[in-house]
Chain A
Amino acid sequence: MNTETADFLAFGMSHLIGLLRGIVADDDPGWQTALTKRSTCERSLPLIEPWRNDIRLTATLITPTSEFLPAFQGCSLATGTATFICHPNLHHVLANFLAATKGKGALVSLLNGHDHSVLSLIQHPNRYDFVLPTHPDLPIDSAAQVLPYRAVARQVREQVAPTIDALALLRALWPEARMCHVLPPPPVASSKHILSQKEAIVSECHNHGVSGKYLRLKYFLECQAQLTSALAALNIATFTAPPETLDSQGFLATEYCWDATHGSPEYGRRQFAAIVERSTGGADQAPL
C-alpha cells in the first residue's frame, strides 16, 4: 500500500451502514446516529487498523430523512433524455470531495443494493423459476412455472436501472473521477435465518413465505451480472462479495450475515479491505 493517505467518499443507503460497522473505530460511537440526522450530509470517520492512519473516509448516508432526497431523479439516461439529475446537496458533497482531493479521492457507491432481495426474497403467490444461462445447472423448482430468462432479465434490468442511471450521471459529471460500486452480498441460503430477522421485508415473508434459495441466488447473480457489465462500460469498478464469505454454493455464509439481507461487520471489513487493495492496484488488478 502506498504510504500516501488515500481518500474515499462512501455514499449509499443501508449497505453503507453495513460496511461502516466493520471499519469505523470505537472512538466515534455516535457516527451512526449522526449520519442518520437530517442535517448531516457527510461525516469523516475514524477507521480501525490497519487503515486508521492511511485512509481518510468520509461517508454520506442517504436515508429517508436525508436533506438530499430524492438523491437522483428524472428519466433514464438509457432513453436518451438528459433530465436525470442529482440532488444539489449531494452534488455539492461529491464535487467538494473531488475538488478537495484534487481528483485523487475515490467515490465508493453503495447505492441501493436491495434489488435482488426486492425481486426474489418473498415467495411469489404463483411460484416460478427460471434457468440462468450463465449458471444453467443451478437447480430449478420442479413444481414451479418456468419463466423465460429474457423476461426475468428485463425485470432485473428495470430494477437495477436507477442505480446504473445514477452512476452514469456521476460519470458524466466527473469523467475522470475514480469511482467504484459495491454490490450487495448474495442471499443467505437458510430461510430459517431469514424468517428469524426483524427487517420490514421479512414481515412479508411471514405472510407469503421465503422463495427457494436457488431462485434468490439466480436473481442475485443476474443483478450482479447486469450491474457489473453496465458499470464496466462506464469505467466504474464493481466489488462483489469476498470469496471467503461465501459457502460452497455461492450463498452468503451465515456467519457473515447481519440480518436477512445485509452483511455483518466482518463482511464489511473484508469488503473494504478489497476496495483499499484494489484502489492501490494490489492483487494484480487495475487500480480504480
Chain B
Amino acid sequence: MTEDFPSPDEEIAALLVARDLAEAGEPERAIDALASFAARQSLNPEIYLELGRQHRLAGRDDLALTYLRHSAQLEFGGNQALYHLLDMHINAGDFGLAIGVLARMLKQGVDREDVLGVVAGLLEQMQGPIDSVNWLAPSASSVEASTSPATADGTPPAFEPRPGRHHPYRQQPDHAFWNRSVAQRPWAEINLLAAPKFSIGAEEPIAAAGSCFARHISRCLRQSGYRYLETEQAHSILTPEEAKACGYGDFSARYGNIYTPRQLLELVEQALGHRPIIEDFHEADGRVFDLLRPTIQQGGFSSWQEAHHDRSYHLRCVARMLAEAGVFVFTLGLTEAWINNKRGHSYPVCPGTAAGSYDPDSHHFHNFSFAETLADMRSVLRLLRGINPGLKVILTVSPVPLMATMEHDHVVVATSASKAVLRGVCADLEHDDAQLQYFPSFEIISATASQGCYFEPDQRTIRPEGVAHVMRTFLSAYFREPPANSATAEEDTYVARANQQQSAECDELFNNPYHEH
C-alpha cells in the first residue's frame, strides 16, 4: 500500500533530525530516527548511509556493513557508501573485499588514478598471498557479492524487499546511469549508442543524405572501407576539380544539402514519380541555377536544357539509390524553410541567398512544427518502404546550430526549438519501427556534458575530433565485420581533419548576409 512508503519530505526531515542528533553525540537516537524508514523500505540511499555511519560509530560493524552495502546498492546513491565500505574493509584487513569495492567504484566513475593509488597502497600492506584472488579480476557477480547484504558475511539483511517491489532501475545497464557512464569520464571515450537495434553488413550498401553535418558522415562512410552507395558518380571525363565543383562525392547522389524533412519528402516524391519534377530554375548572367540545389554546380548550368536534363538524370539516380540502399542515413538539420507561394515546394535556402532572387510575392518563410515534421518523415518512410521494404533507416540530428533564424527569437533559442522538434520527431519515429534508429550525433557533439569540446571557437563549427567521435561510435555500433579497406583508429582524426579542410559546405551560410560567400 502506498501509504506504507515514506515520502521524500518525510525522509529529508528525518535525515536532518538524525544528523543533528549525530552531531550532538547521540548516535543511538539518530539510528532510532531513521530505523523506521528502513523498515518501511525507503529507497533513499542517504537513509541507509546514515544508518551505516551511526552503527559504525556505535561499534556495530556488522549492521554498519549491511546498511552501507544497501546504500551502495541503490544505484543513484553516489559513492559515499562505497568510501565507507572501503575504509571498513581496509581497517579490518579484508583487502579482497576492499579491492571488490574499488572495482565497483571504478565502474561508477571514480577517478582511475585515485583507485589505482589505493590499490597500490593495499598491495603494499598485504602480507602473504591474497586470499581472494578473484577480486583482482572481479566478475560482475563477485562485485555484486562485495556489496550484497545477503552474501558478504552471512548476516541476513534487516529488510527483505517486498514481493513485487523491486527497484526498477536495478535491471538497467551501466549506460543508463550518469554516474557509471558519464561522470568523471573523458567525453571522447563515451559511447552514447550502447544498444544498436540492428547491425550493418560489410557489403550492405549505405546511402546518406541530410544537412551540412551529413557531409561529414557521408565522407567518413565513403572512406571507411564499407560499401558506401553512390548512384550518381562523377564521370571519368571530369577532372577531380570539375567533379568537386559539380557536387559529386558529397552524398550518394547530387542532391546537395537537404535540411528539412519536407525537402527530403519532395525529393523522394519526385524521384519515385509521385509528383511532377519541380523545375525552379533561375538565370543570371547567362548561367542557369537549380534553386532546389543552388550550389550543386558552381557557376550554374550552361543552359536551361542542361539544367533540365541534369535534374531528370539526378532524380533517376536518387530513385536508384533509394531502391538499392540497404541502409539510409538521414541527418535532420532544420525546421525553418522557405516555400514557393504558388507551387508550394520548399527550398534548401532562401532564394536570393545562394542563388536566385527573393521575391516576397513568390516566397514565404515557414517554420515546420513538430506535427508537420513528423508527418513529413512518416510520408518519407512510407514511400521508402514501399520500394525497399527491408531498408534500415538511421536518423541523426545535426548538432550544427542555425546560422541565422527568421523567427523573432535569439538564434540560440531558435536553434534549441528547431533541434528539439527534430530530435522529438526522431524519438517518436524510432519507438514503433524496429528498422529505424536514432543515432546520437547531436548529443555526442552538443550534449552539455561535452562542455563544448567539439566546437571551434565560433561555437558552431564542428571540430574534427567531434566528427571522429561520431564516426567511431557509428562504425563500432553498427558494424560487426571489418571493412574491405579498413581505416585504422589512428586515421580517424586524420580523416576527419582532411574532411575539415575540405570544409563541409553549409548552404545555410547564405542565410547570413554578412558572411563572405
Contact = CB atoms under 8 A, between A and B. Distances in A.
B238 interface: yes
A243 interface: no
B236 A131 contact: no
A136 B305 contact: yes
A151 B238 contact: yes
B467 to A, nearest CB: 30
B369 interface: no
Given A145-B313, A146-B310, A136 B238 contact: no
Contact of B302 (A124, A126, A137, A148): A148
B235 interface: yes
B303 A149 contact: yes
A136 B313 CA distance: 17
A133 interface: yes
B237 interface: yes
B301 interface: yes
Interface in A107-160: 124, 126, 128-131, 133, 136-137, 140, 142, 144-152, 154-155
Interface in B160-219: none
B309 A148 contact: no
A65 to B, nearest CB: 33
Given A148-B246, A154-B242, A131 B303 contact: yes
A142 B313 CA distance: 8
B309 A152 contact: no
Given A146-B309, A146-B310, A146-B313, A133 B302 contact: yes
Nearest to B307: A131
Interface in B279-306: 297, 299, 301-306
Given A126-B236, A145-B313, A151 B242 contact: yes
B255 to A, nearest CB: 15
A154 B299 CA distance: 15
Contacts of A130: 306
A75 to B, nearest CB: 19
A131 B302 contact: yes
A146 B238 CA distance: 12
Interface residues of A, number: 22
A124 B312 CA distance: 21
B305 A148 contact: no
A126 B235 contact: yes
A133 B297 contact: no
A151 B237 contact: yes
Contacts of B310: 146, 148
A146 B290 CA distance: 15
Most B-side CB within 10 Å, residue of A144, A145, A155 = A145
Contact of B238 (A129, A131, A147): A147
Contacts of B309: 129, 131, 140, 146
Contacts of A128: 235, 237
A31 B246 CA distance: 52
Contacts of A150: 242, 299, 302
Contacts of A131: 302-303, 305-306, 309
Contact of A136 (B237, B246, B303, B312): B303
Nearest to B317: A145
Contacts of B304: 136
Nearest to A119: B237
A128 B232 CA distance: 12
Contacts of B313: 144-146
Nearest to A137: B305
A76 to B, nearest CB: 17
A90 to B, nearest CB: 33
B303 A152 contact: no
B288 to A, nearest CB: 10
B253 to A, nearest CB: 12
A145 B303 contact: no
Contact of B306 (A126, A142, A144, A146): A146
B237 A155 contact: yes
B304 to A, nearest CB: 8
Contacts of A129: 309
A152 B246 CA distance: 13
Given A133-B306, A148-B302, 6 more contacts: A124-B237, A131-B305, A147-B237, A148-B246, A150-B242, A152-B237
Interface of A: 124, 126, 128-131, 133, 136-137, 140, 142, 144-152, 154-155
Interface of B: 235-239, 242, 246, 297, 299, 301-306, 309-310, 312-313
18 contacts: A126-B235, A129-B309, A131-B302, A133-B306, A137-B305, A140-B305, A144-B313, A145-B313, A146-B310, A147-B235, A147-B238, A148-B246, A148-B297, A148-B306, A149-B303, A150-B302, A152-B237, A154-B242
Smallest CB-CB A-B distances: 5 pairs: A149-B302, A131-B306, A131-B305, A136-B305, A146-B309
